[in-house]
């Protein structure tokens, strides 16, 4: 966990099916609601398909960048119309944003990555127990993201790496047609995987004291006990 960064640069090394199979063979032991295992993985190696996915991803990135330019949290979940009852009009002009290339440029590394894993979730199999609460439902995602993270951890254990993406969801409709994804399945994430071009960097995260409190949300902070210092 401390040495599994988001990897966005890959060497030319292949990621053979034997290794990929082992990665998924470990990842499948992820926890998930009711153990209904609603995930599906589409293994994309075809270069033309990877290129189209990278194009769709970059379109999503353009929209994401528009929020950043406006000084906003991109697609802030608190603003999502599904949950808040607020206007569904986005805070930025997404149509205009799509004409401005994203700051990172075209993600060539996705086309060159040995494999793109498109992870979908079958909504008929998962429970969204936090629906009807007047906010964005979150729980259904918990039935697929532990699995997706397991993929990154299992890849790391074998000398490979990759990263989560979610902005591709902006183009889910196009992706559905491209990969013949059935209606009941939705895109959870797309993971480019390959051999990392750089050695692991030190990951920067908040200290435990910054996010854990005792007994109530505003309670005293959990600190490292003296004995374990």
Q: Is 151 in the site for ligand FMN (CB under 6 A)?
A: no
Contact (CB, 8 A) for 116 and 103: no
Enumerate residues 6+ apart whose C-beta is below 8 A from 217: none
Q: Is 200 in the site for ligand FMN (CB under 6 A)?
A: no
Q: Is 165 in the site for ligand FMN (CB under 6 A)?
A: yes
Q: How far is the CB of 129 from ligand FMN (least distance, A)?
A: 20
Q: Is 74 in the site for ligand FMN (CB under 6 A)?
A: no
Q: Which stretch binds ligand FMN (CB under 6 A): 65-73, 91-99, 112-120, 157-165?
A: 157-165
- Of 19 and 156, which has the nearer Cβ to ligand FMN? 156
Q: Is 119 in the site for ligand FMN (CB under 6 A)?
A: no
Sheet containing 185-194: give its strands across: 39-44, 115-122, 185-194, 161-162
Single residue of 70, 73, 133, 203 touching ligand FMN by CB under 6 A? 203
Single residue of 5, 33, 90, 146 touching ligand FMN by CB under 6 A? 5
* Contact residues for ligand FMN, defined by CB under 6 A: 5-6, 8, 163-167, 203
């Amino acid at each position: 966990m401390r040495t599994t960064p988001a990897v966005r640069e890959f060497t030319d090394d292949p990621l053979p099916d034997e290794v990929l199979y082992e990665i998924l063979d470990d990842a499948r032991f992820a926890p998930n609601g009711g153990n209904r295992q609603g995930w599906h993985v589409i293994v994309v190696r075809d270069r033309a398909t990877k290129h189209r996915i990278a194009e769709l991803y970059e379109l999503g990135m353009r929209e994401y960048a528009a929020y950043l330019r406006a000084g906003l949290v991109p697609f802030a979940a608190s603003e999502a119309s599904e949950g808040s009852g607020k206007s569904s009009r986005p805070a930025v002009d997404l149509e205009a944003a799509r004409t401005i290339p994203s700051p990172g440029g075209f993600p060539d590394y996705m086309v060159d990555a040995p494999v793109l894993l498109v992870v979908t979730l079958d909504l008929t199999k998962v429970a969204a127990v936090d629906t009807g609460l007047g906010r964005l439902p979150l729980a259904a995602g918990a039935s697929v993201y532990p699995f997706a993270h397991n993929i990154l951890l299992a890849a790391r254990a074998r000398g490979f790496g990759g990263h989560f993406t979610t902005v591709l969801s902006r183009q889910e409709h196009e992706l559905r047609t491209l990969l013949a994804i059935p209606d009941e399945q939705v895109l959870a994430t797309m993971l480019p995987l390959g051999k990392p071009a750089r050695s692991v960097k030190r990951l920067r995260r908040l200290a435990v004291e910054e996010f854990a409190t005792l007994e109530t949300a505003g309670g005293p902070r959990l600190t490292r006990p003296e004995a374990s210092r």
